[in-house]
Amino acid sequence: MKKPKVAFYWCASCGGCEEAVVDLGEEILNVVDLVDIVFWPVALDFKVDDLVNLEEGEITTAFINGAIRTSEQHEIVKLLRRKSKFVIAYGSCSCFGGIPGLANLFSANEIVRRVYLETPSTINPENVIPGRGDKFDGSVVSLPKFYDKVKPLDQAIEVDYYLPGCPPPVKLTLEAIKTLLSDTLPERGSVLAPDVALCNECPRKETKPDKIELRAINRPHQVYIDAEKCLLAQGLLCLGIGTRAGCGAACINGNMPCTGCMGPPGNVKDQGAKLISALASIVSSNDEEEIKRILEQIPDPTGTFYKYFLPYSILQGKIKREIENESLENYD
C-alpha cells in the first residue's frame, strides 16, 4: 500500500513547532514508517518546485505552523492547500496569530522603520529599507510583500483542524497524527485538544479557593511565589481560567503563571474578552476607586490578555487613524 504523504511548513514562526515534531522522539521513527514526508524545510531538502510538481490533493495532511505575515507565506500556504486533503493549523501562531500577532498593535510602516532605521544597534547610513526586488539579466528577483497585519492561517486559506499551543504539546501532536491516519476523522473544524479550561488539569487545583478574591495584582518578580498554591489565589495573573487545557500545566510546573498560549476553550469566541470578564468578576471590592486601583496594577492589558490571540480576536489589532507624514510607499 502507498504511504500517505505529509508536509510540514512554517510561516511567521520561530521553529519551535518543528522542534515539537522532532520531540516526538522515538515515536518519530514510527511516524516515518507510516508516512512519506514530502516537504519539511527545517529537516528535508525538498524545494518549492518539488511541491509544485505534486498532484492536487496528493498530500494527505499538511501541518502548517506560523502566522501569515508576508505574501510569500500566503502563496505557499495556498499551494499547500491545493495539494493537500487536510490542512492543520499547527501551533498558536497559525491558529490565532501567536506572539508575532502582537505586531498588530503597530502598522507595517512603524515596524519597518523601527527595525531598519531606528534601533540603537542599526547601522544603516543610506537608510536602505527592503523594496520589492530587483532586475538582473532580464530576470526579476522579487522580495515578498510585508503585509500590514498578521493573519491567522484560516484568514488566508481554509483550515480543516486546529492544534494550538506554543508549542503544541507532544502528546497532542502524536494523538493528532494517529487520529488523522485512522478511519474515524473528527468533525471538520475541530480543535485537536481537550475542551476544558486549564484549571481542570492543574496540579494545584485543590488549592484553588471556591471563590477567589482578588485584592491586589502581583507581578511574578515582585512577590515570593508559593510553589504549591493556586497562582491566581496568590494575585498572579494566571490565565488558566480562560485557557484550553492540554499542556499539562507546563508553565505552572515551572512555578510561573499560565499566559494563555493554548487559546480559549471551544465555547469562547474572544479569549481576551473572556479573561477580562472573568477577572472583573473576582476583583474583591465594591468601591469604584479601589477597583480602579486594583485593575491599574495590570501594566499592559492588551499584551496580557491577547498575548497569543490578537489577530484572531474580534478587534484583530489596532488601527491608527492619523495620517503619517512620511509614508513608505511599499508598506501602506
Partner 1 sequence: MNPLKITIDPITRLEGHGKIDIFLDESGNVKKTYFQVPELRGFEKFVEGRPAEEMPQITSRICGVCPTAHHLASTKALDDLYKVEPTLTARKIRELVNSTFFVEDHALHFFFLGGPDFIVGVDAPKGLRNIIGVLNKVGIEVGSEVIKIRKLLRELIALAGGKTIHPVFGLPGGVSKQITREMQEKFINGAENAVKFALFVLNCLRK
Q: From the list 227, 284, 296, 332, which residue makes contact with partner 1 (rule: CB under 8 A)?
A: 227
Q: From the list 59, 88, 102, 273, which residue makes contact with partner 1 (rule: CB under 8 A)?
A: 102
Phi, psi of 256 (to 5 degrees): -135, 155
Which distant-in-sequence residues (6+ apart) come within 8 Å of 9 by Cβ?
39, 40, 41, 62, 63, 64, 65, 66, 76, 77, 80
Is residue 139 helix, strand or coil? Answer: strand
Please check whether residue 198 is in contact with residue 258, taking contact to mean a CB–CB distance below 8 angstroms.
yes
For residue 247, CA distances in Å to 6, 93, 168, 260, 264 come to 24, 16, 8, 11, 13
Quick one: which segment of 80-88, 140-148, 153-161, 320-328 binds partner 1 (CB under 8 A)?
140-148
Q: From the list 30, 53, 124, 255, which residue makes contact with partner 1 (rule: CB under 8 A)?
A: 255
Which distant-in-sequence residues (6+ apart) come within 8 Å of 148 by Cβ?
107, 108, 331, 332
Q: How many residues bind partner 1 (CB under 8 A)?
A: 71
Site string for partner 1, 187-206 (x = CB under 8 A): --------------------
Please check whether residue 301 is in contact with residue 93, taking contact to mean a CB–CB distance below 8 angstroms.
no
Window 287 to 316, contacts with partner 1 (CB under 8 A)? 299-300, 303-304
Is residue 167 part of the contact set for partner 1 (CB under 8 A)?
A: yes
Is residue 4 part of the contact set for partner 1 (CB under 8 A)?
A: no
Minimum CB–partner distance for residue 183 and partner 1 (Å): 27
- Nearer Cβ to partner 1 (161/308): 308
DSSP assignments along 141-176, one per residue: EE---EEEEEE-GGGTS--SEEE--SSPPHHHHHHH
Window 16 to 55, contacts with partner 1 (CB under 8 A)? 16-20, 22-23, 25-26, 28-29, 32, 41-49
For residue 114, CA distances in Å to 57, 129, 332 come to 42, 11, 15
Is residue 100 part of the contact set for partner 1 (CB under 8 A)?
A: yes
Q: From the list 219, 292, 293, 320, which residue makes contact with partner 1 (rule: CB under 8 A)?
A: 219
Is residue 90 within a helix (H) or strand (E), and if so which, with residue range?
Answer: strand 84-90
As a whole number of angstroms, the distance between CA 313 and CA 316 comes to: 5
Q: From the list 55, 128, 211, 221, which residue makes contact with partner 1 (rule: CB under 8 A)?
A: 221
As a whole number of angstroms, the distance between CA 192 and CA 92 comes to: 12
Which distant-in-sequence residues (6+ apart) come within 8 Å of 47 by Cβ?
none
Is residue 77 part of the contact set for partner 1 (CB under 8 A)?
A: no
- Nearer Cβ to partner 1 (22/185): 22
- Nearer Cβ to partner 1 (136/183): 136
Please check whether residue 68 is in contact with residue 47, taking contact to mean a CB–CB distance below 8 angstroms.
no
Q: From the list 115, 185, 196, 216, which residue makes contact with partner 1 (rule: CB under 8 A)?
A: 115
Quick one: which segment of 179-187, 197-205, 221-229, 273-281 binds partner 1 (CB under 8 A)?
221-229
- Nearer Cβ to partner 1 (121/184): 121
Site string for partner 1, 231-250 (x = CB under 8 A): -------------------x
